[in-house]
Amino acid sequence: MAFRGWKRLLLLGRQNTFAKAWRSRRGGSSLRWKRCCHWSAGKSLDPEVRAFLEENTEVTSSGHLTPEIRLRLLTPRCRFWREKPDLWPYGDPFWAIYWPGGQALSRYILDNPCVVKGRSVLDLGSGCGATAIAAVMSGASQVLANDIDPIAGMAMILNCELNHLNPFPITIKNIINSEAGNWDLIVLGDMFYDEQLADGLHHWLRKCIRIQQTEVLIGDPGRHQFLSHSIHSQLHKVIEYSLPEYTRQENNGLTSSIVWSYQPSNSSENC
């Protein structure tokens, strides 16, 4: 089965398994920048995993909204684009796709560096790490990338290397439903693909805003699960981007992606 078919499984079927993983791996105590379990500068990767990822992904910066950022992704020139999905030896590689919501967030941060400059940023469900990379490039004072897939964490380190950045801290655990951390900004893209996960996200993000006055930016191309969720009525549209043709083809014809602000006030400042 070609990876296009595999990607359809990720979009329509296996994402349910991934959502269950997010829901079941409950967060515990509150995270602190220096106390969370993470990879960071100087942390070595497993040589076999590094070699596998480097051999079976392609370095690319084309076909996406952020040509400034180079990423290791699965593309039509990769072996596993054509192989059967079950031959992939790790968990489903959601991180190997640069999803539209993440693209919009990354583009917005690069174009508007004052959104993150001098601020602490949590990239929730970071995947390939592109939005966290954009935050570092734009002057964020602290960046924490979060995912539940350890291979995603390893891929983020490789992507930092590609962009000549020291790896930012990466925590591999589900922090949804944990105590609200003290972040200035939380960014998340393409996370509203399951109703129960969306409910958990809504509750936790609302708690972060109430307790810590955290700003929240959400990237999504307008999937049904997102548009139909109750959180949508509490969002302010920040900007909409037209997706490149390659990204449209790989996302069932979706044509644009939007950055939304989830804040108590709809007021905004120009950068």
| 172-216 confidence digits (pLDDT tens) | 999 988 888 899 999 999 999 888 888 999 999 999 999 999 999
Judged by DSSP in three states, 93 sits in coil
**What pLDDT shows up at residue 133?**
98
Q: How many CB atoms lie within 10 A of CB 43?
A: 13
Ordered by start, the domain boundaries in the chain are: 45-262
Q: Which among 221, 232, 226 is positioned nearest to 254, based on CA atoms?
A: 221
* Distances from the Cα of 209 to the Cα of 27, 96, 181, 183, 206, angstroms: 18, 30, 10, 10, 5
**What pLDDT shows up at residue 72?**
97
| 115-141 confidence digits (pLDDT tens) | 999 999 999 999 999 999 999 999 999
CB 133 within 8 A of CB 157: no
Mean pLDDT over 158-178 rounds to 94
CB 243 within 8 A of CB 254: yes
Residue 24 neighbours by CB under 8 Å, 6+ apart:
174
CA torsion angle 193 213 121 223 (round to 10): 20
Tokens encoding 26: 């409950």
**What pLDDT shows up at residue 267?**
40
CB 266 within 8 A of CB 224: no
* pTM metric for this prediction: 0.86
Residue 94 pLDDT greater than 50, yes or no: yes
Residue 15 pLDDT greater than 60, yes or no: no
Beta-bridge partner residues of 142: 120
* Distances from the Cα of 198 to the Cα of 124, 153, 172, angstroms: 13, 23, 20
Residue 34 neighbours by CB under 8 Å, 6+ apart:
none
The CATH number of 45-262 is which of 3.40.50.150, 3.30.1950.10, 3.40.50.1000, 3.60.15.10?
3.40.50.150
Which segments within the chain are labelled E, that is strand? 38-39, 58-60, 71-73, 120-124, 142-147, 170-172, 185-189, 215-220, 236-242, 256-261
DSSP 19-81: HHHHHHS---SPP-TTTS-EE-TTPPPPHHHHHHHHHHSEEE--SSS-TTS-EEE--TTSGGG
